[in-house]
Structure 1
């Protein structure tokens, strides 16, 4: 196994050589073997141990054992202790999940504090099989069937190609000592039940089951990479970014793929969506239907689906600016007010008004149903809802519209159109330039 491990590091994980490494060691068989193998191929590393305080004296003995091992091989020993049960209760999660969160958060803290390049854990092929079966039993997409990643950011698992039997054989031949975790024999936990009841039966039916599984896993990883590349291509084809923080997805293009639900699943899964039945129905739903994830929302708007981050609701917020002030910060930018002698550049972000027609303080607010204005350059008034429709503004674009107002009268639909009532006339004495940046 030593030569196979050395070859694997050389061909697949050569970046570990010369890097500052930390090995997570529980004191059990797997992590003790990982330490022995890394030491034999001359990798330099420190050792970290978590005492989860879940097995009383046994947990303390594990800590003593790992410390003694670190002292024996002259490695720096890093230790922490957790009240795992209290954390699990506060977070309302299982003990296993609590222990996982606690240790990985601590590992990340150590990496920052001590500048470790990589943290090695002792997951192996049998762990990969158990994870696969757990995910399969819970229902998962293809990503959940690709197993434990060998390299995931700073975390590296060099033993993934090796089975538990290979690791045990190496430990016995090398006369290594390790600690046995008594909780590993309990089948009340799902992983242990799969380890002790399901996997042995599978291996009994087919002695090559683990090796065949690893081959299948490699095929699944390759398939997943292919799917990712196709999803990337689809995003480039379908995602139209025409508004700030908004992605437009044309529905007619989705229909071209024959199975819009599958297409939407791969496109929207990274944004946390889960209500796939509701999302599929949006294709034929009326405009205005919405589906939310924790971070994003999807809105049906005529011929498009609009994807955007969830932002704070500020629809009832109003900003005031006095005559003495020359600047006002609002969510869409900074308004600047300046007296000028003449009109120069004019664009959607700049207007000129007759200052004497304004009533201070001016206000900036969101638009609401029933609002109307007198569009500059046109006769008569127009409802904002009709103006937005004529301008073909999407639902999300309309939500982002702010109005600059003088009393109850609209001076400017900011970034869109000024009001005719405040325009510059030949008799105007004070020209006020207003810009949004």
Structure 2
């Protein structure tokens, strides 16, 4: 097996020969064999072991086993103990998911702090088949059927082409000792039930199951590559990024042969789960929206607007005293300067008659019912009507702030000043307000 493993690295993972590697080792067959293989090929490896404190003395014995192995091999080893059950309760996770989050976060932290190039895990072909079946039984898209990726950022899984049987034969042949996790024998977990009850029957029915599965996975991955290429082309035609949001053209999406499929591919990385609601936005009225844990998708006229959820949406009003020259807000910085004459003009600059201002000024988000007297126009206008005339999207409207003096709008910041505060021939005290 060592020769086959070496050829696999040379063909597909040659970067491991020169990298600084961290092996995630539990003490079980898979990670122990991976460590032996890497050691025999003189790769630069260190070990990282997680003690999840879930199996009492057995967890401590696993830790001691790894420490002894590291000493025997003269390898650097890192040990971290976790209060997994406490973390699971605090985060509302299953024990398995909690352990997964804890270990991968720690591996990434170690890699960042100590400049490891890659983190190696010992997932093998049987793990890949189990993951495929789990996703299949729960319902998934094509991505869920393409198996465990061999390379995912700094994570590399060099044993994916090898079956557990091959690893065990190698370990026995080389007199390699390993630890057995007693929890792996329990069939209360879906993965273990598949491992012990279902997959052995499938292998009896077809002794070439794993080989055929690898071929299927390869074909599915090729199909996913074609889809990814197609999505990139569609993305360039359908989407525009501007003002911190992504606009998707609804008319163009609806003309595609399968809008639902493309919409999923375009939005799959933004943590949405209510996909039926997402698809329904294509035919919804303006104002309908769907949230993920991190993003919002909003129907606005002929577009779907994707934006990150703004933690400052409920930002408090800012009070501006007379002597302040600079005020920092969520949108940028306002500068106040007394000047003698008006020079440049721009949307981000207004000039007001300072004598007409009543301090303190208030900087706040606009509210329904706000109105102002747009400079250069006669009469007043509600901000909601002004936004409609300016064709501001719902998201753009939410980002609007106003500068207020004694209840009167001085400036729709960055957009339009109020006529009541403009500089006239009778003005003797000019205040320049600039947004940067």
Describe the SS at the equivalent of 2:328: strand
Deviations 1:245-304 (CA, angstroms, capped at 9, x unpaired): 222222111111133222221112211112122222222222111111111111111222
Per the alignment, in what secondary structure is the counterpart of residue 424 of structure 1?
coil
User: Aligned pair 1:250/2:249, yes or no?
Assistant: yes
In structure 2, the residue matched to 1:68 is 68
Corresponding position of 2:125: 125
Q: What is the aligned length? A: 436
**CA apart distance, 1:313:** 5.5
Alpha-carbon distance between aligned partners in 2 of 1:95 and 1:234, rounded to the nearest angstrom: 40
SS in 2 for 1:71: helix
Q: Is the aligned partner of 1:291 residue 2:293?
A: no
Q: In structure 2, what is the equivalent of residue 94 of structure 1?
A: 94
Using the TM superposition, give the Cα deviation of residue 322 of structure 1 relative to its aligned residue in structure 2, in angstroms: 2.3
Paired with 2:310 and 2:144, the residues of 1 have a C-alpha distance of: 30
Relative to structure 1, the CA distance from residue 5 to residue 360 in structure 2 (aligned partners, 3 Å threshold; closer, same or farther) is same
CA distance in 2, matches of 1:36, 1:355: 78
Q: Distance in 1 between matches of 2:376 and 2:92?
A: 62
- 2:204 maps to 204
Match of 2:22 in 1: 22
Structure-2 residue corresponding to 1:216: 216
Distance 1:55 1:431 in 2: 75
Deviation at 1:92, TM superposition (A): 3.3
The answer to which of 106-115 and 21-30 deviates more is: 106-115
Return the alpha-carbon distance in structure 2 between the equivalents of residues 399 and 3 of structure 1.
62
What's 1:229 paired with? 229
Q: Secondary structure at the match of 2:89?
A: helix
Distance in 2 (CA, whole Å) between partners of 1:52 and 1:430 is 70
Is the aligned partner of 1:55 residue 2:69? no
User: Shift of residue 345 of structure 1?
Assistant: 0.8
Which secondary structure does the structure 2 equivalent of 1:167 belong to?
Answer: helix
Match of 2:434 in 1: 435
With over 3 angstroms needed to count, the CA separation of the structure-2 counterparts of 1:85 and 1:400, relative to structure 1, is closer
Change (3 A) 1:332 1:53: closer
Shift in Å, 1:316: 7.3
CA distance in 1, matches of 2:429, 2:216: 77
Task: Provide Cα deviations, 1:356-403, integer angstroms capped at 9, x if missing partner.
Answer: 222222222222222222221222222222221111111111111111
Q: CA deviation at 1:82?
A: 3.0
- Distance (Å, rounded) in 2 between the aligned partners of 1:100 and 1:314: 33
State the 1:128 CA deviation. Answer: 0.6
Deviation, structure 1 residue 315: 5.3
1:173 to 2:170 alignment: no
After superposition, the CA RMSD in angstroms is 1.9
Matches within 5 A, 1:25-44: 25-44=25-44
Paired with 2:203 and 2:357, the residues of 1 have a C-alpha distance of: 84
Separation in 1, partners of 2:296, 2:165: 48
**Against the structure 1 CA distance between its residues 333 and 126, is the aligned structure 2 distance closer, same or farther, given a 3 Å change threshold?**
same
How big is the shift at 1:235? Answer: 2.2
Rounded to whole Å, the distance in 1 between the matches of 2:337 and 2:66 is 71
Gaps of 5+ in 1: none
Q: CA deviation at 1:58?
A: 3.0
- Distance change >3 Å, CA 431–CA 286, structure 1 → 2: same
Deviations 1:7-32 (A, max 9, x none): 01111111111222222222222222
Q: SS of the counterpart of 1:224? A: helix
Q: Is contact 2:363–2:402 with CA below 8 Å preserved after alignment?
A: yes
Q: Cα distance 1:327–1:70, how it changes in 2: closer, same or farther (>3 A)?
A: closer
CA separation of 1:159/1:342 partners in 2, compared to 1, >3 Å: closer, same or farther?
same
2:394 alignment partner in structure 1: 395
Structure 2 residue aligned with 1:368: 367
CA shift in 2, pair 1:30/1:355, >3 Å:
same
Task: State the TM-score, normalized to the length of structure 1.
Answer: 0.94
Q: TM-score, normalised by structure 2?
A: 0.94
Q: CA deviation at 1:175?
A: 2.4
Q: Is this contact kept in 1: 2:312–2:330, CA < 8 A?
A: no
Give, in angstroms, the shift of residue 198 of structure 1. 1.0
Residue 216 of structure 1 and its aligned partner are, at CA, apart by 0.9
Q: Deviations over 1:46-84 (max 9, x none)?
A: 223223333333333333332222222222233233333
Aligned-pair distance for 1:319? 2.0
Counterpart residue number, 1:275? 274
1:108 aligns with 2:108: yes
